[in-house]
Amino acid sequence: AAVDLDKCFEVVNELVNKAGAIIARRNETRQEFVCKQGDIDLVTETDKEVENLLMNGIKEQFPDHKFIGEEESSAEGAPKKLTDAPTWIIDPVDGTMNFVHAFPHSCISVGLVVNKVTELGIVYNPMLQQRFTARRGQGAFYNGKPIKVSGQKDLAKALITSEFGTTRDPEKMKVVNENFQKMAAKAHGLRVLGSAALNMSMVALGAADANYEFGIHAWDVCAGDIIVREAGGVVIDPAGGEFDMMSRRVLAASSTELAQEIAKTLTQFYPQPRDD
């Protein structure tokens, strides 16, 4: 059956409002957490509660839709094959480290993929009430107002975001540090704010000019990808090829020229295992 994307968008916006209210309230105090893979990969009760709220709400309306969720897949521990079925890709709290510290910079990130094409995305920071939305072919919006990337082409004038990531694996950290050094030397500025989805949204807003990261997951970047592209930006693989949502690698930029310049500059890393 055809997917009613208008209804999908409406339903997910309402659920995100409810979920956002929970996150914003809990963010007033520091949160208890447990470690997942290592001591800096965190999950809280709120991550699980919000994921359930979103998944149950969607299932009620669209019983045959599928899910790839951060806590859902870690619970099952199984890789997720992306099929042609309508699939919601959900990070209930992106920026969990910030959330446990009550640093008000985390978000809900939700994308809907149909026939392996992302149709819509929402990134919502309920603490600061920043809502980024996009639907395929309809542009990107910040709190309902259309947004555009900066169009910056020159790395020397670009504000770049990236992350330390959620592992202290020495090989990975070596690459992270090497790339921070390169960017600090070549870019206009470098920021590490703690949420992959918000990093990408800042590129869409034209507030940052590019974001790259090795080690992200599909749920961190699915919504951000469509929001950046609908704002006129580009999302590619950090080595310069086509973006692969399950590869755990991303590079978003305000222009093709900037994306390719960053791709040439970066020391490459291929996180294992992939998401699928």
Cβ closest to ligand IPD, residue 41 vs residue 257: 41
CB 170 within 8 A of CB 114: no
220 has binding-site annotation = yes
Residue whose C-beta lies closest to ligand IPD: 163
User: How far is the C-alpha of 88 from the C-alpha of 110, rounded, in Å?
Assistant: 7
β-strand partners of 120: 112, 135
Cβ closest to ligand IPD, residue 165 vs residue 238: 165
Q: How far is the CB of 92 from ligand IPD (least distance, A)?
A: 8
124: closest CA among 136, 109, 103, 145?
A: 109
Cβ closest to ligand IPD, residue 118 vs residue 195: 195
User: How far is the C-alpha of 86 from the C-alpha of 90, rounded, in Å?
Assistant: 13
Q: How far is the CB of 23 from ligand IPD (least distance, A)?
A: 12
Radius of gyration for the alpha carbons in the chain, expressed in angstroms and rounded: 17
| Residue ranges of E strands in 70-208 | 87-94, 107-114, 117-125, 130-135, 140-142, 145-147, 159-161, 189-191
70 has binding-site annotation = yes
Q: How far is the CB of 166 from ligand IPD (least distance, A)?
A: 5
CA angle 95, 200, 141 (to 5 degrees): 110
β-strand partners of 67: 88
Q: How far is the CB of 128 from ligand IPD (least distance, A)?
A: 16
CA dihedral 94, 205, 160, 225 (to 10 degrees): 50
Cβ closest to ligand IPD, residue 123 vs residue 134: 123
Cβ closest to ligand IPD, residue 105 vs residue 135: 105
Q: How many residues does the chain have?
A: 276
Q: How far is the CB of 193 from ligand IPD (least distance, A)?
A: 8
CB 121 within 8 A of CB 111: yes
Dihedral sign (CA 78, 81, 85, 89): positive
User: How far is the C-alpha of 149 from the C-alpha of 147, rounded, in Å?
Assistant: 7
Cβ closest to ligand IPD, residue 163 vs residue 255: 163
Q: How far is the CB of 1 from ligand IPD (least distance, A)?
A: 32
Q: How far is the CB of 196 from ligand IPD (least distance, A)?
A: 3
Cβ closest to ligand IPD, residue 61 vs residue 167: 167
* Contact footprint for ligand IPD (CB under 6 A): 70, 91, 93-96, 163, 165-166, 194-196, 213, 215-217, 220
Residues in the annotated binding site? 70, 91, 94, 220
Task: List residues forming the annotated binding site for Mg(2+).
Answer: 70, 91, 94, 220
